[in-house]
Amino acid sequence: MVVDIQICQKKLNNVYILAANVSLEYEKTEVHSAFYFSTPEQRERLVASERALCDQKCQQIVDFKNKVCEGTDKSFLLVNLKGIDPICLDILAKAGIMGLRRAKRRNMERLTLACGGRAVNEVTDLSLEDLGYCDKVSEEELGDDKYTFVEGCKNPKSCTVLIKGPNEHTVAMIKDAARDGLRSVTNTYNDKCVVPGGGAFEIFLHQKLYEFSDSVKGKAKMGVRAFADSCMIIPKVLAENSGYDMQDAIIMLCDEAKATNVPVGLNLTELGCMSPENQGVFDNYVVKKQFLNIGPTLAQQLILCDEILSAGKKMNKGPTGENDPVQMGGMPGM
């Protein structure tokens, strides 16, 4: 969480957290207006009236903090979506309240999910249910930015993963890897099942489709076998990326699968076969399901495009097989 921070302390323990969307600074009116005074006393009264509303809100937060933290070892943190002016920051600091201003909306939403409580839009009727809680809050500098770490949440529904690297490319690669890993875990949790990886599923599917093609007659047999051969692209790419010969790897996997009749995957450490179940190599069920559904559909659409292009060329030809003069820019009969 990156925020503009003005605090009296750098670290807090056993922290109550109040997420608020309340303006604690003097705001200009929406219409043009001005105050006129003739004596210094009138000016002081005008300034005091302008500050009265902000000071009242700030004092209500201080009173609420004293109510929930008095006689305990608890501390208090205010995270505000809007601004906090220096006078209010000074009042909060004297009361021992850490104030964070202009927090991002997405961070405010995550804060309530991580620490509990709820975001409030006014400070008149605050209760203990409005507060979140964590064990530790600290400010740290990483590079040119300041980060506020909220740690030790009791029942978090959200968390932040901090990724550090020597350059932007490395950070982007780590970020993509972390996102892919989290998506894989989510898919596994939703599917309640996994599929043997390392090309084992594709090898098994290839063999079953070839066995099924023996019962198909006509040109459909060629289509079934073409689809079976296309499924082998996964183990072929695995072998190529590992620096092995694709043909040797595919032949070895097919022979081993026929001999053992169990799922067999490609060992990427050294050219050989391995059991995905024993090695803990699995793929997501939903991913395999999607590529089996999308692959034939895309192939069908590509073939349809070829047919449309071929039909368009035939339409541009005249009855004698020559180009239509109208299409060439001439007039009929010329």
Reply yes or no on whether the pLDDT at 94 is more than 90. Answer: no
Lowest mean pLDDT among 78-87, 285-294, 319-328: 319-328
What is 4-26+49-159's CATH number? 3.50.7.10
pLDDT at 47: 72
Distance CA 192, CA 69 (A): 45
* Residue owning tokens 């922290």: 15
- Which pLDDT tens digit goes with each residue over 165-197? 888 899 999 999 999 999 999 999 999 999 998
pLDDT at 29: 61
Q: Got the DSSP string for 15-44?
A: EEEEEE---BS----SS------SSHHHHH
Distance CA 206, CA 309 (A): 33
> 3-class DSSP state for residue 173?
helix
Reply yes or no on whether the pLDDT at 91 is more than 90. Answer: no
More confident residue, 314 or 214: 214
pLDDT at 318: 54
Helices first, then strands: H and E counts in the chain:
11, 10
Reply yes or no on whether the pLDDT at 160 is more than 90. Answer: no
Q: Are 51 and 111 in contact (CB under 8 A)?
A: no
Q: What is the largest CA-CA distance in the chain?
A: 105
pLDDT at 5: 44
Query: Rounded to the nearest 5°, which phi and psi values hold at 320?
Result: -90, 5
Sheet with strand 132-142: strands edge to edge: 4-6, 97-101, 75-80, 11-20, 132-142, 145-151
- Residue ranges per structural domain of the chain: 4-26+49-159, 161-191, 196-313
Distance CA 249, CA 255 (A): 10
pLDDT at 305: 82
pLDDT at 185: 92
**144 confidence band (pLDDT: 50, 70, 90):** confident
Reply yes or no on whether the pLDDT at 316 is more than 80. Answer: no
% of the chain with per-residue pLDDT over 90: 10
Decide whether 4-26+49-159 matches 196-313 in CATH topology.
no
Query: In angstroms, what is the C-alpha Rg of the chain?
Result: 34
Distance CA 216, CA 231 (A): 19
Angstrom CA distances, 197 to 145, 205, 244, 268, 311, stand at: 42, 13, 18, 12, 43
* Residue owning tokens 């043909």: 247
Regarding the domain with residue range 196-313, which homologous superfamily does it belong to in the CATH classification?
GroEL-like equatorial domain (1.10.560.10)
- Which pLDDT tens digit goes with each residue over 194-226? 999 888 999 999 988 988 988 888 888 988 898
Mean pLDDT for all residues in the chain: 83
pLDDT at 178: 92
**82 confidence band (pLDDT: 50, 70, 90):** confident
- Which pLDDT tens digit goes with each residue over 52-66? 888 888 888 989 998
Which of left, alpha, beta for 122 (phi over 0: left; psi -120 to 50: alpha)?
Answer: beta
Please give the average per-residue pLDDT across 245-272, as a whole number: 87
Please give the average per-residue pLDDT across 268-286, as a whole number: 88
Q: Are 332 and 325 in contact (CB under 8 A)?
A: yes
| C-alpha 139, offset from chain centre | 25
Angstrom CA distances, 90 to 21, 65, 85, 185, 230, stand at: 19, 15, 9, 46, 69
Distance CA 223, CA 212 (A): 12
